[in-house]
Amino acid sequence: MLAEKGRWSGLASIAFHLSFLFIGLGAILAGTLGFDESLDLPDGLTAPVPHSELRVTSHGFDMKTVPVKEGDRITGYRPSVYSTDLELTDGGEALARKTITVNDPLRYSASNWLLTLITSSKINFHQSSYYQSSNGYVSVLQVTYKPGKSLIYVGFGLMMAGICALYFPHRRIWVKADESGTLLLGGRTNRSKVIFQRDFDRIANELRHTLGKQEA
């Protein structure tokens, strides 16, 4: 007779290591077919989006500052928030508009959401930094296009699922009764052998205890 627990535990390790493949493939796809370019956009001007026919316009760069203090003395100012009011156009036709900040990029896709999810064909406009020129502020954008993003996320998912499942080991216990009425117990596990040993001994002891009572 066999009792077992966590039969699919062997898959956990496979899933975990398979995730490397997905992440690697996604990174290769993004690296070869995608792009990651820096774009300097002066206040109020329009610039072509790299590797495409699209154009992007800044409708204004905005910055808030906070004082930098040394004791009670103000020694300078540093930015607390900065943003660019960005508009994406295609031959004069407005496609999208958003005020982007450092952690809040503009993401645009021409196709429907399902196709976008599969091919991850989004162009992203990240607020990277800024600098001051003689004509005022210049917003620095990071324009990225990353096919293979969904593969990377599948990889992340597999990695997390696999690593959690690693802690549910595959445990098996066999019981065999022979002619003379002796019970033979055998067990096998693929992980956490010390704990299994302890549990196995406990089960064997309980069995001995209850069987002993029945006989008496």
Partner 1 sequence: MDSITKIEEVLFIAALISYLVCSGIYIWYLISRNEKFVRVGTMLLYMGLLAQTVALGLRWYSSGHAPMSDLYESLSLFGWGIILFFLIAQHFYPVKAAGALVVPTAFLITSIAGVFYKGPEPLVPALQSYWLWIHVTIAMLSYGLFTLSFGAGFFYIVQEYLLKKNYRNVLYTFLILLSILGLALGFWAGSWWAEPAKVMDSVTQIVSNDYATSDYLKILGGGVIGLVVGCLLGFLAGKGASKPGFSSRLPSLDVLDEVSYRGIAFGFPLLTIGIITGAIWADQAWGRWWGWDPKETWSLITWLFYGAYLHTRLTMGWRGRHSAIIAVIGLIVVLFTYLGVNLFLSGLHSYAVPA
Rule CB under 8 A: which residues touch partner 1?
27, 36, 66, 68-69, 75-76, 78-82, 101-105, 124, 126, 128-129, 131, 140, 142-144, 146, 149, 152, 156, 159-160, 163-164, 166-167, 191, 194-195
Enter the tokens of residue 112.
Answer: 């429907």
Smallest distance, Å, CB 144 to partner 1? Answer: 4
Smallest distance, Å, CB 157 to partner 1? Answer: 9
CA–CA gap between residue 132 and residue 189 (Å, rounded): 65
Q: Which is nearer to partner 1, 3 or 21 (CB)?
A: 21
Q: Which is nearer to partner 1, 149 or 171 (CB)?
A: 149
Closest CA to 85 of 66, 63, 57: 57
Smallest distance, Å, CB 116 to partner 1? Answer: 16
Q: Which is nearer to partner 1, 164 or 211 (CB)?
A: 164
Smallest distance, Å, CB 216 to partner 1? Answer: 34
* Beta bridge pairs of residue 61: 84
Enter the tokens of residue 125.
Answer: 């406009």
Q: Are 108 and 88 in contact (CB under 8 A)?
A: yes
Q: Which residues of 113-140 are buried (b: 16+ CB within 10 A; e: fewer)?
A: eeebeeebbbbbbbbeebeeeeeebbbb
Q: Which is nearer to partner 1, 58 or 144 (CB)?
A: 144
